[in-house]
Amino acid sequence: MLFLFAALLGLGIGSFLNVVIIRLHSNEPLTGRSHCVYCQKQLRWFELLPVVSFVALGGRCRYCQQAISWQYPLVELITAAVFATITVWFSTDPLRLGVYLVYSAILIVLFVYDARYYLIPDIITLPAIIFSIIISLLLGNHWLNIMLALAVGSGVFLLQYVASGGRWIGGGDIRLGALMGAMLGWPNIVVALFLAYCGGAIVAVTLMILGKKKMTDRLPFGTFLSASTIITLCLGNQLVYWYLYEFLRLYHR
């Protein structure tokens, strides 16, 4: 029942995240009524049911018959899956559970926004950094731990930005790195960065082999950073302990 409730909550939150992503890009206020992005016709409540409405409408607007982006059901389903996973993982720690659900919602917005528009919006990352620092302190993390994670998360990308003159990465990656540090702390920030670079390398090489990308093409690295942060929220401590165990085991051979 807890898993089901979390999944249903995730569907609803995912629907709201779609609104945030689309309206943030179009500079629309979040308070207006939902409408078709093509014909601007206001949508009724039964046209806004997560996933169900998309399927019932055949993926098209009921009024103008324009195709509805697959982003809508995919974000809703992914948010549902992430919420259900985090809820089951942290069901015995309600405070951390609530915090990580909020974190994951922020990261899903950044993931989709960078994937679609190749941009990491400061209007999301900057307030999220402040929020995450405060929450991390309330969760009992030492301020030195947080500052170290912030320095590592942002410093890795700042060095690349300076070395390349801004050609390799953008300033948004630096802010996202700081956000990752505020959310994860030390040493889990290292785990997230490692996963992001591995994932990015695998996808980049695969796309080049398939002829979809060239060496000079851009890749929305914020998507990998966001995804790796969500994974590390759940598995970061286990991965750190596993690595230390394997390292010490090999060292003492």
Burial of 45 (0-12, 13-18, 19+ CB in 10 A): exposed
- pLDDT value of position 97: 94
Average pLDDT, the chain: 89
Interhelix angle 221-251/171-184, rounded to 10 degrees, is 50
Q: Which residue has the higher pLDDT, 244 or 93?
A: 93
The reported pLDDT for the residue numbered 245 is 63
Name the residue among 156, 77, 153, 67 with its Cα closest to residue 112. 77
Tell me, what's the pLDDT at 51?
93
Task: Render pLDDT for 38-80 as a digit per residue (tens, 0 to 9).
Answer: 888 888 888 888 999 999 989 898 889 889 889 999 999 999 9
Give the integer Cα–Cα distance in Å for 173 and 162: 13
* Residues 170 and 218 sit within 8 Å (Cβ to Cβ): no
* CA–CA dist 125, 181 (Å, integer): 12
Residue 248: pLDDT over 70: no
Per-residue model confidence (pLDDT) at position 168: 78
Pick from 223, 184, 193: nearest CA to 99: 184
pLDDT band, residue 244 (cuts 50/70/90) = low
Instruction: Find the DSSP H helices in 91-170.
Output: 94-117, 122-138, 143-164
Q: How far is CA 141 from CA 7, 66, 75, in A?
A: 29, 49, 31
pLDDT at 243 over 80: no
pLDDT number for residue 28: 84
Structure tokens at 87: 């809820």
The pLDDT tens digits of the residues spanning 45-54 come to 888 889 999 9
CA atoms within 13 A on the CB side of 40: 1
pLDDT digits over 5-15, tens only? 999 999 999 99
Please enumerate in sequence order all residues whose Cβ is within 8 A of that of 178, keeping only pairs 6 or more positions apart, or say none: 125, 129, 150, 153, 154
Single out the residue of 127, 122, 202, 190 nearest to residue 153, CA to CA: 190
pTM attached to this predicted model: 0.90
